[in-house]
A and B are shown apart, each in its own frame.
Chain A
């Protein structure tokens, strides 16, 4: 069984590392800059400029959230092995699963922290321009948090056996494909070949259905969002994330640190 104390120790140290490193601040800075740029961009439109501003700001949050998740996620384990910090840590009474879950939890916390800063910025920019913010926005932010956690898990899985560069390509690929699978399935079903249709359906089942975490349009237009629109993707995401982490643990457990 995992020990909460040790997982928490690894997690809190991971957060501390992130807070003390400069790279994430740079990314955060760009995200905030892009949001402010949204004000300029939205002023180009003579109507619905508040909506455009929020569209741009939420896109910025998604892009930079995912960038941070991939960038930090793929380095998660590799950096520890590369700098050999993992040697002393794993020589302590700590299972590899505890280490992996701790790193993951710490990273997700870090990203949620960044997301919270970006949300605060979003609220600020919205208030500045008089754009409305409602419950739909809260739902969209929560689901974005879920999507980012899932992406970190994907990155963790790949980085448990691959190099950071390859892992980041793989993870970015899964992220892109995860937003495509619904359309791929529909395209497949429209194809004449039954085989292609079946492939599309299976692709949709196997890859994470990330489009279900996207409530941007609903939030911005104030369209009705049901409770199931939020909790179903969250449950799905949590389960999928757990599967990814378990797979990562299996691989990580068998790994030699030469």
Chain B
């Protein structure tokens, strides 16, 4: 090796090390955080995206779906419903035949009436594009019943899912229950009775027959309600026990009807919470179950919405 070349190697090595050090140092000093905080994540309107997808609708749809998953999966922040709604709107506008994203929206868009409305719009799109999928109808009906208290509308939507492949057996009894409020017990009974006749599956039939038992029981409970009001008029006071209706002086009924069509060991009771006469078998009257806090929330939401619409 010539004496000069050793020097050259040293100089080059030093230069290389220096450049490397500066690169690493400068990179570390770079502020990688974005200067502008958009707050909400940026999602272009679905229409614009569709317009500029150039035939890549499907893969763009997937991209925004993965973004929605990241958003919901980020434990460091509370889920922001508006962004989920926008993302799923884009996902389903680009590829309306997707399945799960519609239900994903339904699950995550429950924090305000506005978002439930958004979820319902998305679910309606899902129903339109996949009319044979019972699940979107199920979620849509549930939203109408549970968050909006529109039982008749919910019943109409759920009825569309009854005969779709894979639909669960409990749907028909649920529909019957939801219809009772507006259309009366006899319509619900007729609805279920016709289903019993047409269903071939014995287990489904059994499910429907059980629902019919409950309707029969409700019919008797309503009879007892009538008897109870006669009793009040006659005696000037309410019953203490259900048996009061058929015992003591001047009983309203000669005999109490059975508290269940098949199980005679159950008796009628007065629900301490609501004061209703209930069958000991069911423990509640025939109506869609609702937790008191769900009810309160719904009333608050609907009240707010009414307030807003009055103002505007």
Contacts and interface: CB of A to CB of B under 8 A. Distances in A.
A and B touch in the complex (CB under 8 A): yes
Interface of A: 41-42, 44-48, 51-52, 55-56, 58-59, 62-63, 175-176, 179-180, 183, 187, 210-211, 214, 216-217, 220-221, 223
B56 A48 contact: no
B54 A59 contact: no
Interface string B54-82: 11111101100110011000000000000
Interface stretch (B95-103, B181-189, B252-260): B95-103
B55 A56 contact: no
A45 B65 contact: yes
A243 B50 CA distance: 30
Given A41-B66, A183-B50, A48 B98 contact: yes
A47 B72 CA distance: 14
Nearest to A219: B58
B57 A62 contact: no
Given A48-B100, A180-B51, A56 B69 contact: no
Contact of A221 (B56, B59, B97): B97
**9 closest A-B pairs (Cβ-Cβ)?**
A59-B59, A55-B58, A47-B100, A221-B97, A179-B54, A179-B55, A52-B62, A214-B55, A55-B59
Main secondary structure on chain B at its contact with chain A?
A: helix
B161 to A, nearest CB: 20
Main secondary structure on chain A at its contact with chain B?
A: helix
B51 A183 contact: yes
Contact of A210 (B50, B51, B55): B55
Interface of B: 50-59, 61-62, 65-66, 69-70, 95, 97-100
Contact of B69 (A46, A179, A221): A46
B66 A223 contact: no
A210 B54 CA distance: 9
B86 to A, nearest CB: 18
Contacts of A41: 62, 66
A223 B56 contact: no
Contacts, number: 61
Contacts of B58: 55, 58-59, 216-217, 220
A48 B99 contact: yes
11 contacts: A46-B69, A47-B99, A59-B58, A62-B56, A63-B56, A180-B52, A183-B50, A216-B55, A217-B58, A217-B95, A221-B97
A113 to B, nearest CB: 22
Contact of A55 (B50, B62, B69, B100): B62
Given A179-B55, A180-B52, A183-B51, 16 more contacts: A41-B62, A41-B66, A44-B66, A45-B65, A47-B99, A48-B100, A51-B98, A52-B65, A52-B66, A55-B61, A56-B59, A59-B58, A180-B54, A214-B55, A216-B55, A221-B98
A223 B97 CA distance: 9
A52 B95 CA distance: 11
B56 A59 contact: yes
A211 B66 contact: no
A59 B94 CA distance: 14
A211 B65 contact: no
Nearest to A216: B58
Contacts of A55: 58-59, 61-62
A191 to B, nearest CB: 14
Nearest to A53: B62
A59 B61 CA distance: 12
A175 B99 CA distance: 30
Contacts of B55: 62, 179, 210-211, 214, 216
B56 A217 contact: no
A58 B95 CA distance: 14
B106 to A, nearest CB: 14
Contacts of A46: 69
A217 B50 CA distance: 13
A56 B63 CA distance: 10
B97 A45 contact: no
A62 B50 CA distance: 17
Contacts of B69: 44-46
B34 to A, nearest CB: 22
Contacts of B54: 175-176, 179-180
A91 to B, nearest CB: 43
Given A47-B100, A48-B98, A48-B99, A217 B66 contact: no
A51 B70 CA distance: 18
A55 to B, nearest CB: 4
A204 B201 CA distance: 53
Contacts of A45: 62, 65-66, 69
B52 to A, nearest CB: 8
A34 to B, nearest CB: 10
A142 B52 CA distance: 24
Contacts of B61: 55
Nearest to A44: B66
